[in-house]
């Protein structure tokens, strides 16, 4: 089969864009701060000419792009994934040099902020993975996140316990997911329409309750305790990785566990095999004795618990109080991360981290006064998703039965 030219063409376009950066950073230096004061050993800041570094990165990108064309046209082979990853790192690095030219870029701050913004996206994408792998399109991730944020704020404020707030958030997520499941599975309502309606319902309900209850009783109902950071000894002092990964709050550590647990459950257990079977061929699954309806209900509701847990991060970990529509479309970005990650929990988490990085970069750009409009970075997650769906990063196909109601014959 003849290999597609999409990958080498995409690499060539990005290389051309990098070449345009070279004259834009002429005469500027960039300083990179790697270590923090609490690291095991000090690492001095790096200072080098921005233009020279971008030229080096451009040469690397040209080499990879030429090799990609050679493999595609002469050898009829795909571009290795590792080469594409190195190309992506070089391109992102060149953009960062352009954005921070003449300023100081703090690596740990940039990465830690990206991880914080990605936490609810990752929980949301885990919810989407569990739902869509079983054949239910989960547009209602936004509503599940928002319900979890509201419930965790109220319960944690009343009980003064973040643990009870987390549990309440998970139950709220399950309740919202059950609405999606009942109307989609039992009453055969269009899954996309159901998800949108559920989102509108939760947005309206939480906004109403915020205005009528929380706004007048802030100290009692909307001042929850927040997660405290837990530093893992030794690991938390490793340069770069330590402050970013191992000096975090409880919910971030739960996120690490959630990604691994969902991946293992879907791809390494009999239950996961049944879930994926129902999501691909529900009639065949029913024929061999798999309870299709029960499997769908269970998977969607477990996913709702993960999304509710992600929603609690907004109020107990990030903001410290509930606000109207505070999820701000995070559920839709989580769904985009799921698609970009090809319905694989690991890849979806990596895509969510990429989207979180783009969002955090928007704030950094505003601080340093970069020439790149921050609105461009806001639309980046959706542009990447369109690119993925268009097939520029390989064929993307969701579960075959997703969105299709199953009628038992």
Tokens 């090809």 correspond to: 342
By C-alpha distance, which of 299, 305, 292, 295 is closest to 175?
305
For residue 404, tell me if it sits in a domain: no
Q: Is the pLDDT of residue 257 over 80?
A: yes
Question: Residue 390 and residue 396: Cα distance in Å, rounded?
Answer: 8
Q: What percent of the chain has pLDDT above 70? A: 94
Taking 60 as the threshold, does the pLDDT of residue 287 lie above it? yes
Q: pLDDT of 52-108, one tens digit each?
A: 889 999 999 999 999 999 998 888 888 887 888 899 889 888 888 888 888 888 888
pTM assigned to the model: 0.91
Q: Of 107, 142, 165, which one is at a domain's C-terminal end?
A: 107
**Does 397 fall in a domain?**
no
In whole angstroms, give the CA distance from residue 394 to residue 141: 26
Residue 403 lies inside a defined structural domain of this protein: no
Query: Do both 122 and 85 map to the same domain?
Result: no
pLDDT of residue 370: 65
Domain count, the chain: 2
Whether residue 36 is found in the same domain as residue 102: yes
Q: In terms of domains, do 329 and 362 share one?
A: yes
Q: Are residues 89 and 170 in the same domain?
A: no
Same domain, 102 and 123: no
Same-domain pairing of 55 and 128: no
**Strand 29-33, strand 104-106: pairing:** parallel
The values of phi and psi at residue 390, to 5°, are -70, -10
Task: Match 């309206």 to its residue by tokens.
Answer: 204
Q: Look at phi and psi of residue 251 and say left if phi exceeds 0, alpha if psi is from -120 to 50, else beta.
A: alpha
pLDDT tens-digit series, residues 103-151: 888 888 889 999 999 999 999 999 999 999 999 999 999 999 999 999 9
Sheet holding 104-106, edge to edge: 46-49, 29-33, 104-106
Residues 218 and 102 in one domain: no
Instruction: Give the integer Cα–Cα distance in Å for 36 and 23.
Output: 32
Alpha-carbon distance of 365 to 95, in angstroms, equals: 11
Q: Write down the pLDDT at residue 5.
A: 80
Residue 375 located in a structural domain: yes
| pLDDT of res. 371 | 66
Is residue 190 domain-resident? yes
Q: 136 and 88 share a domain?
A: no
Q: Assess whether 241 and 328 both reside in one domain.
A: yes
Q: Is residue 396 part of a domain?
A: no
Residue-wise DSSP of 110-162? HHHHHHHHHHHHHHHHHHHHHHHTTT---TTHHHHHHHHHHHHHHHHHHH--H
The distance between the two most distant Cα atoms of the chain, rounded to a whole number of Å, is 73
Q: In terms of domains, do 129 and 19 share one?
A: no
Q: How would you classify residue 28: left for phi > 0, otherwise alpha for psi between -120 and 50, otherwise beta?
A: beta
Contact 291, 277 (CB under 8 A): no
Query: What is the model's pLDDT at position 32?
Result: 84
CA distance 181 to 175: 10
Compute the distance between CA of residue 304 and CA of residue 288 in angstroms, rounded to an integer: 28
Domain boundary among 65, 83, 107: 107
Residue with structure tokens 């570094």?
53
Is the domain of 78 the same as that of 208? no
Token pair 């064929």: residue = 395
145, 331 in Cβ contact below 8 A? yes
Whether residue 394 lies inside any domain: the answer is no
User: Is residue 305 included in any domain, yes or no?
Assistant: yes
Q: Please, are residues 349 and 122 in contact by the beta-carbon 8 Å criterion?
A: yes
Tell me, what DSSP letter sits at residue 271? Answer: H
Q: What is the dihedral of CA 124, 130, 134, 136, to 10 degrees?
A: -20
DSSP 399: -
Write out the residue range of the structural domain in which residue 85 sits: 6-107
- Provide the angle, in degrees to the nearest 10, between the axes of the packed helices 107-132 and 345-368: 140
Q: What is the pLDDT of residues 343-399, one digit of tens each?
A: 999 999 999 998 898 888 877 777 766 666 767 767 766 776 676 666 555 566 789
Instruction: Give the per-residue pLDDT at 151.
Output: 96
pLDDT, mean of residues 196-203: 96
The CATH number of residue 352's host domain is 1.10.3470
Q: 55, 85, 107: which is the final residue of a domain?
A: 107
Running DSSP on this structure, what letter comes out for residue 86? H
Residues 159 and 272 in one domain: yes
> Helix 162-181 and helix 292-313: axis angle, to 10°?
140
Residue among 306, 282, 309 at smallest CA distance from 294 = 282
Residue 160, both tokens: 């003064």
Please report how the helices 107-132 and 250-267 are oriented relative to each other, as an axis angle in degrees rounded to 10.
40
């Amino acid at each position: 089969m003849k290999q597609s030219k999409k990958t080498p063409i995409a690499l060539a376009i990005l290389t051309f864009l990098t070449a345009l950066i070279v004259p834009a950073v002429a005469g500027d230096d960039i300083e990179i701060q790697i270590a923090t004061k609490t690291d095991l050993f000090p690492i001095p800041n790096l200072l080098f000419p921005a233009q020279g570094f971008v030229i080096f990165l451009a040469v690397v990108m040209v080499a990879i792009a030429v090799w990609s064309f050679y493999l595609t046209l002469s050898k009829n082979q795909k571009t290795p994934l590792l080469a594409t990853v190195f190309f992506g790192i070089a391109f992102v690095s060149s953009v960062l040099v352009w954005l921070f030219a003449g300023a100081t870029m703090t690596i740990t701050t940039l990465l830690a902020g990206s991880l914080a913004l990605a936490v609810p996206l990752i929980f949301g994408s885990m919810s989407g993975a569990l739902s869509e792998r079983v054949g239910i399109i989960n547009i209602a991730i936004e509503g599940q996140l928002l319900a979890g944020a509201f419930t965790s704020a109220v319960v944690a404020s009343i009980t003064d316990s973040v643990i009870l707030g987390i549990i309440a958030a998970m139950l709220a997520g399950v309740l919202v997911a059950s609405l999606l499941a009942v109307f989609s599975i039992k009453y055969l309502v269009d899954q996309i329409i159901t998800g949108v309606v559920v989102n509108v319902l939760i947005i309206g309900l939480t906004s109403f309750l915020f205005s009528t209850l929380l706004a007048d009783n802030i100290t009692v109902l909307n001042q929850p305790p927040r997660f405290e950071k837990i530093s893992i000894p030794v690991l938390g002092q490793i340069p770069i990785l330590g402050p970013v990964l191992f000096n975090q709050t409880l919910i971030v550590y739960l996120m690490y566990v959630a990604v691994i647990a969902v991946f293992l459950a879907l791809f390494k257990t009999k239950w996961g095999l049944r879930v994926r079977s129902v999501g691909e061929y529900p009639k065949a699954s029913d024929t061999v004795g798999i309870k299709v309806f029960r499997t769908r209900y269970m998977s969607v509701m477990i996913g709702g618990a993960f999304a509710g847990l992600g929603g609690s991060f907004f109020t107990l970990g990030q903001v410290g109080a509930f606000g109207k529509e505070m999820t701000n479309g995070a559920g839709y970005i989580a769904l985009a991360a799921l698609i970009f990650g090809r319905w694989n929990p690991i890849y979806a988490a990596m895509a969510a981290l990429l989207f979180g990085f783009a969002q955090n970069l928007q704030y950094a750009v505003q601080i340093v006064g970069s020439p790149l409009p921050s609105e461009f970075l806001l639309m980046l997650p959706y542009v990447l998703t369109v690119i993925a769906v268009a097939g520029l990063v390989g064929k993307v196909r969701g579960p075959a039965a997703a969105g299709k109601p199953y009628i038992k014959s």
